[in-house]
């Protein structure tokens, strides 16, 4: 880069030169608009965060019926809101490791059965109260108690006891678990005064912002918490709008009413990115779209039929036509490179001949019934139709039944023997397997029942030797791939978009969309 350009981009970053002028001058120096934009965003980044201003964010997934109680959080809007006012004990780092939040440090006993978290010194809740170890213990108690409604309960079932000891919180487990700190990063487990037992939905926590206006499913306003201990939160005000309609959300970004949005539809992401002032950012994650069969129900209890179906799906075609390239091929396991202990397993390819062979061996005749709906994942009915075509080449007939969106999760998913669905993924292999593939799991939506797998899963939890542990997870992955009712054609990327009014986007942050839900706190308003 020549000196003049460097100078110009720094001027633009400092706000002394308008973006338009910069792009014009850069063009005059023979730099393409795309390159100049990249240059500018790099310079903006290098100039460092700018404090103040209002950051406006448009999100999908909120509903009037949501609650501010973190125990009841289920959607993206709730996750992003929780990140404003509250914090868990620990949080993921950008590359999927762990960092302390309310906990300053944490350590395990040698058998990983006893964990000690030390509460950060001198931090306060937004109501001025100091954070004590008792508050933390009460929080864990509230989410793991017998009568809780918390979505985190499943994760915490193995906890035997929690107690506060000075600034330390000591958690004792029935079985060793090397991943306990990962469980503590769950977004439900926000540290609240007295664990939120008195006022679960008061939105009082240790986060960088304080909620000012709350209109469920419509609009939220948060102001910077002046006493926040950490370095998050650059904008003075964050305004969050719930915009559930895809087209409306994209239009709001294009017309400058919001600065950043999530869930850009893959179909239109390419078009949105064409606008010079908009950046579309795609982040690989653990989320995946699935076709799931109950292997304890005929005809899916026939392993040869399952294998025929697994060989009869064209994964690359699905990535190209359903995700429009914003994703990667699956391998019939729920695990991909987004997981910390990932080890590669041989990729299964589309092979109609092999599929036909297995189908013949299975002795099954007649069509196979697949249920699908629009909300089981974006483009699910289309994916089902592609699956139908690719199976046809193997001489297998797939019958597709469209189900209504309404009631799909209670009436079809985890209830009917073969349907389309999705998983958001979890932060560790242990969590993902425990949630959906352990034989006793509530959401064992493939009815996977393998004693060896269950034993390996428990053993891997307490295994502190990373190499051995990695191998154990790879073995479990292979079992799921070959023996379960899971057909996983693709992992979907998160597609977010922001305008050039914002700086500070970081590529490839692990966790959820929008930089694991921290985009509003970590980005800043440049002008």
Partner 1 sequence: MSLLLKLLAQRIALGLLLLFLVSILIFAGTLILPGDVAQQILGQSATPEALANLREELGVNDPPVQRYFDWLGGLVQGDLGTSLTSGKAITESIGRRLGNTLFLAFWAAIIAVPLAILLGLLAVRYRERWPDKMISAVTLASISVPEFLIAYVAIFFISVRLRWAPSVTTINDSMSLGEKLHTISIPIAVLTLVVLAHMMRMTRAAILNVMQSAYIETAELKGLRMFTIIWKHAFPNSIAPVVNVVMLNLAYLVVGVVVIEVVFTYPGMGQYLVDHVSKRDIPVVQACGLIFAAVYIGMNMIADIVSIVTNPRLRHPK
Residues that bind partner 1 (CB under 8 A): 58, 63-65, 67, 72, 74-75, 146-151, 153-154, 213, 215-219, 241-245, 247-248, 251-252, 254-258, 406-407, 409-411, 413, 442-443
Q: Which is nearer to partner 1, 133 or 238 (CB)?
A: 238
Question: To the nearest whole angstrom, how small is the minimum distance from the Cβ of residue 421 to partner 1?
Answer: 9
Question: To the nearest whole angstrom, how small is the minimum distance from the Cβ of residue 128 to partner 1?
Answer: 26
Any idea which residue has 């390419």 for tokens? 270
Q: Which is nearer to partner 1, 140 or 472 (CB)?
A: 140
- Residues 461, 96, 111: CA angle, nearest 5 degrees: 25
Q: Which is nearer to partner 1, 258 or 490 (CB)?
A: 258
Question: To the nearest whole angstrom, how small is the minimum distance from the Cβ of residue 253 to partner 1?
Answer: 9
Q: Which is nearer to partner 1, 244 or 482 (CB)?
A: 244
Question: To the nearest whole angstrom, how small is the minimum distance from the Cβ of residue 510 to partner 1?
Answer: 20
Give which of 372, 358, 369 is closest to 302, Cα–Cα.
358
CB 238 within 8 A of CB 232: no
Question: To the nearest whole angstrom, how small is the minimum distance from the Cβ of residue 243 to partner 1?
Answer: 5
Q: Which is nearer to partner 1, 62 or 207 (CB)?
A: 62
Integer angstrom CA distances of residue 167 from 133, 159, 182: 5, 20, 21
Q: Which residues neighbour 356 within 8 Å (Cβ) at sequence distance 6 or greater?
A: 308, 394, 395, 396
CB 182 within 8 A of CB 98: yes
- How would you classify the pairing of strands 219-224 and 368-372? unpaired
Using N-to-C axis directions, what is the helix angle for 33-47 and 19-28, rounded to 10°? 130
- Written as six digits, the tokens of 436 are 């959906």
Q: Which is nearer to partner 1, 236 or 478 (CB)?
A: 236
Rounded to whole angstroms, the Cα distance separating 527 from 525 reads 6
Integer angstrom CA distances of residue 179 from 67, 213, 424: 29, 37, 19
Q: Which is nearer to partner 1, 17 or 78 (CB)?
A: 78
- Residues 349, 355, 359: CA angle, nearest 5 degrees: 155
Question: To the nearest whole angstrom, how small is the minimum distance from the Cβ of residue 363 to partner 1?
Answer: 35
Rounded to whole angstroms, the Cα distance separating 225 from 127 reads 10
Q: Which is nearer to partner 1, 206 or 444 (CB)?
A: 444
- Written as six digits, the tokens of 399 are 């019958």
Question: To the nearest whole angstrom, how small is the minimum distance from the Cβ of residue 278 to partner 1?
Answer: 11
Question: To the nearest whole angstrom, how small is the minimum distance from the Cβ of residue 502 to partner 1?
Answer: 17
């Amino acid at each position: 880069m020549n000196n003049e350009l460097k100078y110009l981009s720094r001027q633009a970053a400092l706000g002394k030169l308008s973006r338009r002028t910069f792009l014009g001058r850069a063009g005059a120096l023979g730099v393409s608009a795309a390159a100049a934009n990249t240059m500018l965003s790099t310079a903006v980044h290098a100039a460092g965060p700018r404090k103040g201003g209002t950051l406006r964010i448009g999100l999908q997934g909120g509903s009037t019926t949501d609650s501010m109680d973190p125990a009841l959080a289920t959607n993206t809007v709730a996750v992003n809101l929780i990140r404003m006012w509250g914090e868990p004990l620990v949080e993921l780092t950008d590359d999927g490791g762990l960092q302390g939040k309310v906990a300053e440090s944490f350590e395990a006993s040698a058998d990983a059965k006893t964990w000690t978290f030390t509460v950060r010194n001198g931090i306060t809740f937004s109501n001025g109260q100091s954070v004590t170890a008792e508050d933390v213990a009460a929080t864990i108690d509230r989410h793991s108690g017998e009568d809780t409604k918390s979505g985190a309960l499943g994760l915490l079932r193995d906890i035997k006891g929690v107690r506060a000891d000075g600034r330390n919180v000591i958690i004792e487990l029935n079985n060793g678990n090397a991943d306990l700190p990962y469980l503590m990063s769950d977004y439900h487990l926000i540290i609240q005064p007295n664990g939120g037992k008195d006022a679960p939905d008061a939105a009082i926590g240790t986060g960088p912002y304080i909620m000012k206006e709350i209109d469920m499913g419509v609009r939220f306003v948060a102001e910077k918490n002046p006493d926040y201990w950490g370095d998050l939160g650059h904008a003075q005000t964050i305004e969050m709008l719930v915009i559930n309609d895809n087209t409306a959300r994209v239009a709001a970004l294009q017309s400058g009413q919001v600065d950043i949005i999530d869930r850009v539809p893959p179909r239109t992401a390419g078009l949105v990115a064409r606008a010079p002032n908009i950046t579309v950012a795609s982040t690989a994650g653990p989320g995946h779209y699935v076709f799931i069969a109950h292997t304890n129900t005929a005809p899916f209890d026939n392993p040869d039929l399952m294998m025929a179906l697994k060989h009869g799906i064209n994964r690359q075609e699905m990535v190209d036509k359903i995700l429009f390239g914003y994703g990667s091929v699956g391998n019939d396991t729920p695990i991909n490179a987004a997981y910390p202990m990932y080890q590669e397993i041989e990729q299964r390819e589309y092979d109609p001949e092999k599929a036909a062979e297995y189908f013949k061996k299975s002795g099954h005749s007649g069509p196979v019934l697949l249920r699908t709906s629009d909300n089981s994942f974006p483009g699910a009915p289309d994916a089902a139709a592609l699956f139908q075509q690719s199976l046809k080449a193997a001489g297998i007939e797939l019958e597709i039944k469209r189900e209504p969106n309404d009631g799909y999760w209670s009436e079809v998913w985890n209830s009917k023997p073969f349907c389309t669905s999705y998983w958001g993924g979890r932060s560790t292999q242990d969590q993902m397997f425990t949630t959906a593939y352990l034989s006793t799991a509530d959401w064992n939506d493939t009815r996977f029942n393998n004693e060896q797998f269950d034993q390996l899963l428990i053993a891997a939890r307490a295994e502190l030797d990373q190499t051995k542990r990695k191998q154990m997870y790879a073995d479990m992955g292979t079992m799921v791939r070959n023996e379960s009712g899971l057909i996983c054609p693709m992992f979907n990327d998160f597609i977010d978009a922001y305008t050039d009014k914002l700086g500070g986007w970081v590529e490839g942050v692990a966790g959820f969309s929008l930089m694991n839900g921290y985009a509003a706190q970590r980005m800043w308003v440049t002008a």
